[in-house]
Structure 1
């Protein structure tokens, strides 16, 4: 008995230590999934790039690699980054071909996926927001359109992971809310009802608990009560004493999926800037994302961290990771190596890549420039009793400046602006005092 108590105490101390190392913050104490692409071209220059005014993707002539990362830069136990590590399809010869890991035989369906997978950026742009002509020529597919494609084309199943479900404006604006304000969210609500009740699609939803703001979980509850879907809530506060489930995922028929920053919320469709990817005809990646969803689904029934840890040990390993990605070929026969990563590590199955490692590695590999678009920039523990600097991503950015990399950052500085702007100013000063690197901040 004393031995068991000792073991439990050691486990508790270890868990406490981990919580202190990666503690919760409002914006990034989250469960997440991420999407990564790797590619080797004749030129080895690497770019870490998010979007600027339109959050559109572009590259310069000096490089053939693009990194998009919507990074929430806070240290937390459940930190999310919705990440896209993306190689654009250029007509460029490869200097080297990345060979598959010998110990991981290529499956027949992987060969099929390598030719059929289609990946495209999708985005939400706030209504009445206009841009210069040069940024408006080829707008990306809208988040609304991407969700419509997935929900309305589903034949058998839909898996939905959502931080919130507030598709109808009435939950925030009242019963008299004008439908034209939230019309796209209303359409999505109706599409889910049609899929679940009229077409008999099996829909499973995992939603974060406990709801933070008014109306956050109302439509998930409503859809479950109507018999449209089977819903569970994942309360990480209850299990780990910290964290939220912040992933935004829709998987259709284990063949197509959306992964991005947009909440299942009317405001994410028409009133906010969001970005993600729509992946079609890609069962290999879709099944891997479904494995991440299954962890959320099973964890929602657990009562404590020990139960979750035992469950994780029994979960099947990730299909792909940074060491063993899925090879995809575009229309010009360029090879892209793709994998999913996730946070936190405590919910990652064996062989799953961790978000933070990928973000830091990408920043370290940048040679020319880095573009970052974030809601807030807080490299610190904000929601602990004693504020503490959290350096991994901030240090990587500072090292990039010293290497001569040019960095541009867009941040809303919405929460705790004095703290956030202080960190951003610090980066600007470092850039001003280094002849090679530079930092430009728009907030």
Structure 2
């Protein structure tokens, strides 16, 4: 009898120990905060209550990780390089860097280093092909540590062009950052960035980690064995794609070697839009101001390029188009991007790409929507942008023209966002001579990529150029969560109404 009681006691203890993680997991609510970086020296830009800073969020993700930390980055420069002549930081003094906020990047780097010292399993995935020092930091973090893995991936070997451009952090398979901020100190204090921080959202984190795993697997494969040159009938060019791409006739495709992959009916060349893409019905608590148990509102993930899709997740292009078309009758759509180009940027020959422009014109005509588009104007502005934006403005002429007998009342309004100092960026010294630049290179720019209608928010990592949707890695989070929608509208409106914007029709005015 005594032995039986002892055995029963052991069984009870074992069952209790097994149930603890499940109880703890279920008690964690999915919470969300919008995140942004605001460049220094912008005193007239209002701050939005409840929006977190990117530097703080990156540190929290690393400092709170106990088991795993996965990071996708285009490149790394969390530590300033004022003594490297190849760097855009070259020649700036210690006091300059302090004023610029470069120390925030050092704190983020240290938080990752501390996580590695705690024996957290860390995987770092970034683009290869940028000048060598841009992969030095992840290499240093991995050196001599069995718990830190570092890989680089050159997507141009798989798609003929393109890069690893997603900016994603995943901590302990439950906390996530998705947004526009690079692993660069300048992205924390010298570039306008927008993202979202999801905490305790293990279901969403697992899906994003699947995408990470697909990229990780791609880095270990021989691209020459898994790519084909095809005549792309959707985009009317010859290009390189993975051999499992739907741009290849079905009988000629290979089996995907990725851990997770989507198989959809190929009703047309390429990847058809999903009629019912997967939505998460998850209660997302938004703080501050929402401490009650919220009702579930649909959220979703979208990914690029299409060959990396899995499950029933939609392509990133579809995520953007569907968000544009979600605007209500007579409502307002807001779009924020660094680049807007109705074509490809890096392919030869170029691809004409009207997907987003057509969607905007459609809602202007069909829904009488007001569309506000904010585009960055900075030191590395793409010259062709102005022409494409002006052509989009012609929708206003057609919409209101009595000659073509239209009765729509929609409107497109476009403004350039010029961060102060955008035309004074670059190294402080070049060939031993002071340049007169006031800020490091590749700074003073509005870099966020998002769209928000009256009912739906879409926060991504891709510039609005063809290459970013069909040859470049990107991740977006979208939601109908009312608080997230309203807060993202506030962020946009603060920029839109700031003194740092200029209407496109008044900029580079034709004479």
TM-score (norm 1): 0.68
Distance 1:399 1:114 in 2: 44
SS at match of 2:387: helix
Distance 1:113 1:348 in 2: 28
Distance 1:306 1:239 in 2: 10
Distance 1:139 1:177 in 2: 34
Q: Which runs of 5+ in 2 are unaligned?
A: 1-20, 227-241, 245-253, 263-275, 286-291, 401-408, 417-511
Distance 1:166 1:329 in 2: 33
Cα drift, residue 156 of structure 1: 1.1
Q: How do 1:84-99 and structure 2 match up within 5 A? A: none
Q: Residue in 1 aligned with 2:167?
A: 248
- For the pair 1:185 / 2:105, whether they are aligned, the reply is yes
Identify the match of residue 136 of structure 1 among 26, 43, 47. Answer: 47
Deviations 1:296-332 (A, max 9, x none): 11111111175464684552468xx833424325435
Contact 2:34 / 2:51 at 8 angstroms: preserved in 1? Answer: yes
Q: Residue in 2 aligned with 1:328?
A: 283
Deviations 1:72-115 (A, max 9, x none): xxxxxxxxxxxxxxxxxxxxxxxxxxxxxxxxxxxx989x7697
- For the pair 1:419 / 2:384, whether they are aligned, the reply is yes
Contact 1:158 / 1:252 at 8 angstroms: preserved in 2? Answer: yes
Quickly say closer, same or farther: Cα 1:185–1:402, change in 2 above 3 A.
same
Quickly say closer, same or farther: Cα 1:113–1:245, change in 2 above 3 A.
farther
Deviations 1:113-137 (A, max 9, x none): 69711011011000121235xx335
Cα drift, residue 365 of structure 1: 2.4
Distance 2:132 2:355 in 1: 34
SS at match of 1:207: strand
Contact 2:55 / 2:188 at 8 angstroms: preserved in 1? Answer: yes
Q: How do 1:52-201 and structure 2 match up within 5 A? A: 116-131=29-44, 135-136=46-47, 138=49, 140-170=51-81, 172=87, 173-174=89-90, 178=94, 179-180=97-98, 181=100, 182-197=102-117, 199-201=118-120
- For the pair 1:442 / 2:361, whether they are aligned, the reply is no
Distance 2:280 2:220 in 1: 31
Identify the match of residue 220 of structure 1 among 119, 138, 151. Answer: 138
Number of equivalenced pairs = 330
Cα drift, residue 226 of structure 1: 5.3
Q: Residue in 2 aligned with 1:394?
A: 357
Quickly say closer, same or farther: Cα 1:437–1:140, change in 2 above 3 A.
same
Q: Residue in 2 aligned with 1:96?
A: none
Deviations 1:140-182 (A, max 9, x none): 1000111111110111110011111110111622497525231
Contact 1:240 / 1:305 at 8 angstroms: preserved in 2? Answer: no
Q: Residue in 2 aligned with 1:315?
A: 259
Q: Residue in 2 aligned with 1:275?
A: 194
Q: Residue in 2 aligned with 1:356?
A: 317
Cα drift, residue 221 of structure 1: 2.2
Quickly say closer, same or farther: Cα 1:240–1:441, change in 2 above 3 A.
closer
Q: How do 1:226-241 and structure 2 match up within 5 A? A: 227=145, 229-241=148-160
SS at match of 1:423: helix
Contact 2:261 / 2:308 at 8 angstroms: preserved in 1? Answer: no
Cα drift, residue 209 of structure 1: 1.2
Q: Which runs of 5+ in 1 are unaligned?
A: 1-107
Contact 2:332 / 2:371 at 8 angstroms: preserved in 1? Answer: yes
Distance 2:141 2:355 in 1: 41
Q: Which moved more, 1:169-178 or 1:256-265?
A: 169-178
Quickly say closer, same or farther: Cα 1:109–1:439, change in 2 above 3 A.
farther
Q: Residue in 1 aligned with 2:374?
A: 410
SS at match of 2:134: coil
SS at match of 2:307: helix
Contact 2:106 / 2:185 at 8 angstroms: preserved in 1? Answer: yes
Q: Which has the larger radius of gyration?
A: 2
- What RMSD in Å do the two structures reach over aligned CA positions? 2.8
Contact 1:232 / 1:300 at 8 angstroms: preserved in 2? Answer: yes
- The one of the two structures with greater contact order (alpha-carbon pairs below 8 A, sep at least 6) is 1
Distance 2:26 2:299 in 1: 11
TM-score (norm 2): 0.60
Contact 1:428 / 1:439 at 8 angstroms: preserved in 2? Answer: yes
